[in-house]
């Protein structure tokens, strides 16, 4: 019985440590998520300029990946740029609806053929004046410890089928 109690306490301590580590990781990404929300709520894509790729920076990144790992990228990877992201962002329902908050639910690593540190942030958006939460995914590239860029946001427009803009 004492052995079971020790195992139970060990599991609780381990769970608390994991939750603390996850909270710190989420905190690292919270500013970029908050800026995404702020940009949506104000309907101004330029508020994301510091958190998205400019065409030149994206081109440099593509060149670097191709140099390290030829035939690594698909056509979508090579042609994606801030203008495509902006166009899709502005067409999104989320861009025109006010949100209360965006909460990071889960952060996962995306494995690619390149050696980039790419994360998928699975988030939930709470919509103002509604009892509704909508999932979105943000694909983030960690260029350095202090520099993160949104490569893409994935918003399933089916969640907004009844929304009026």
Tens digits of per-residue pLDDT, 42-96?
Answer: 888 888 888 888 778 888 888 888 888 777 777 777 777 778 888 888 888 888 7
Pairing of strands 99-110, 148-155: unpaired
Give which of 123, 125, 140, 165 is closest to 85, Cα–Cα. 140
Say how far apart CA 12 and CA 21 lie, in whole Å. 14
Percent of the chain with pLDDT over 70: 81
| Residue 121 scores a pLDDT above 90 | yes
The pTM of the full predicted model, rounded to 2 decimals, is 0.74
Q: What is the pLDDT of residues 95-110, one digit of tens each?
A: 878 888 888 999 999 8
CA distance 85 to 77: 12
Q: Is pLDDT larger for residue 26 or for residue 54? A: 54
pLDDT tops 50 at residue 24: no
């Amino acid at each position: 019985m004492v052995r079971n109690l020790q195992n139970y306490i060990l599991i609780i301590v381990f769970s608390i440590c994991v939750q603390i580590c996850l909270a710190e990781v989420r905190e690292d990404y919270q500013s970029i998520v908050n800026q995404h929300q702020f940009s949506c709520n104000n309907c101004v894509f330029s508020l994301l300029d510091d958190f998205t790729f400019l065409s030149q920076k994206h081109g440099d990144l593509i060149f670097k990946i191709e140099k390290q790992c030829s035939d690594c990228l698909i056509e979508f990877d090579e042609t994606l740029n801030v203008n495509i992201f902006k166009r899709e962002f502005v067409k999104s329902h989320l861009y025109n609806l006010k949100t209360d908050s965006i909460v990071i639910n889960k952060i996962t690593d995306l494995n690619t053929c390149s050696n980039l540190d790419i994360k998928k942030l699975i988030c939930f958006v709470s919509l103002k004046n509604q009892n509704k939460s909508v999932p979105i995914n943000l694909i983030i590239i960690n260029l350095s410890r202090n520099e993160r860029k949104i490569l893409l946001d994935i918003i399933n427009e089916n969640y907004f089928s009844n929304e009026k803009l």
